[in-house]
């Protein structure tokens, strides 16, 4: 997605070989027009997969996921990372490790928002080691539903996430694939 590549090059900050800061348009300040265009790309790629719901993990995946769901005319469900006093009981939970924050947390899905007939599209902002996407997939599969695709805004292709997901048979589609990061260096995978 050329427009996303350009925004990453113009506004993204490679802090080191693992961290790309894109808070000016994706995960602090959000560019709605760019999110809409991302939703269009995801919709077009996954349109023939029979998807019934779009899932994302709070919070940076919400904007691209809601734009995708809106364009596909589907409900969007947010998987919770924060514990809640009102979200108890009938839930699916799994522990995942956040590469960015360096902490483990419980990912939670209310059982009332998924059934065994669902075909789920998971949308997330970043793919690094694949922990978040694998955790989301575990929750979907615990409900007996199917992961019909995983859409990623920015993939760090030099890390193991894509490999882990494709080994499990998931269809992974990334809008931008980063080949290499370094202090003030951003290189994309040539496609």
Q: Residue 51: pLDDT above 80?
A: yes
pLDDT tens-digit series, residues 144-156: 999 999 999 999 9
Q: Which phi and psi angles does 151 have, rounded to 5°?
A: -105, 130
pTM for the structure as a whole: 0.95
Contact at 8 Å (CB) between 154 and 22? yes
- The arithmetic mean of pLDDT across residues 177-190, rounded, is 94
CA 40 – CA 74 distance, rounded (Å): 14
- The arithmetic mean of pLDDT across residues 31-41, rounded, is 97
- The arithmetic mean of pLDDT across residues 100-119, rounded, is 91
Query: What would the DSSP string read from start to end of 130-150?
Result: SHHHHHHHHHHHHTT-EEEEE
Q: Looking at the domain 2-188, which fold is it?
A: Rossmann fold (3.40.50)
Quote the radius of gyration of the chain (alpha carbons, Å).
16
CB burial class (10 A; 0-12, 13-18, 19+) of residue 55?
buried
Q: What was the pLDDT predicted at 184? A: 84
Q: How confident is the model at residue 111 (pLDDT cuts 50, 70, 90)?
A: very high
The residue among 102 and 174 whose pLDDT is bigger is 174
Q: Which of 29-38, 87-96, 152-161, 180-189 has the lowest mean pLDDT?
A: 87-96
Antiparallel, parallel or unpaired: β 13-14 and 20-21:
antiparallel
Q: What was the pLDDT predicted at 59? A: 85
Q: Which residues of 137-157 are buried (b: 16+ CB within 10 A; e: fewer)?
A: bbbbeebebbbbbbbbbbbbb
Q: Residue 163: pLDDT above 90?
A: yes
**Contacts from 179-182 at CB under 8 Å and sequence distance 24+?**
180/17, 181/14, 181/16, 181/17, 181/18, 181/19, 181/20, 181/156, 182/14, 182/16, 182/17
Q: How many residues does the chain have?
A: 191
Q: Is the peptide bond before 59 cis (omega within 30 degrees of 0)?
A: yes
Q: How confident is the model at residue 86 (pLDDT cuts 50, 70, 90)?
A: low
CA 153 – CA 124 distance, rounded (Å): 6
Q: What was the pLDDT predicted at 62? A: 96
Q: Could you identify the residue written with the tokens 């514990």?
A: 83
Q: Residue 53: pLDDT above 80?
A: yes
Q: What was the pLDDT predicted at 84? A: 64
- The arithmetic mean of pLDDT across residues 4-22, rounded, is 95
Sign of dihedral through CA atoms 70, 140, 26, 187?
negative
Domain ranges for the chain, please list them. 2-188
* Mean residue pLDDT across the chain: 94
Q: Residue 57: pLDDT above 80?
A: yes
Q: What was the pLDDT predicted at 42? A: 98
């Amino acid at each position: 997605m050329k427009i996303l590549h350009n925004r990453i090059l113009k506004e993204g900050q490679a802090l080191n070989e693992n961290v790309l800061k894109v808070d000016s348009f994706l995960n602090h300040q959000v560019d709605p027009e760019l999110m809409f265009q991302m939703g269009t790309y995801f919709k077009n790629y996954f349109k023939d997969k029979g998807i019934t719901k779009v899932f994302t993990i709070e919070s940076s995946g919400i904007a691209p996921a809601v734009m995708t769901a809106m364009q596909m005319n589907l409900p969007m469900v947010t998987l919770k990372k924060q514990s809640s006093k009102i979200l108890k009981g009938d839930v699916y939970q799994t522990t995942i490790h956040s590469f960015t924050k360096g902490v483990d947390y419980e990912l939670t899905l209310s059982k009332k928002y998924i059934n065994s007939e669902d075909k789920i599209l998971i949308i997330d902002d970043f793919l690094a080691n694949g922990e978040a996407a694998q955790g989301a997939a575990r929750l979907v599969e615990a409900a007996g539903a199917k992961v019909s695709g995983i859409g990623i805004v920015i993939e760090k292709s030099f890390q193991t996430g894509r490999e882990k997901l494709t080994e499990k048979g998931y269809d992974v589609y990334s809008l931008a694939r980063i080949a290499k990061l370094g202090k003030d260096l951003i290189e994309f995978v040539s496609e």
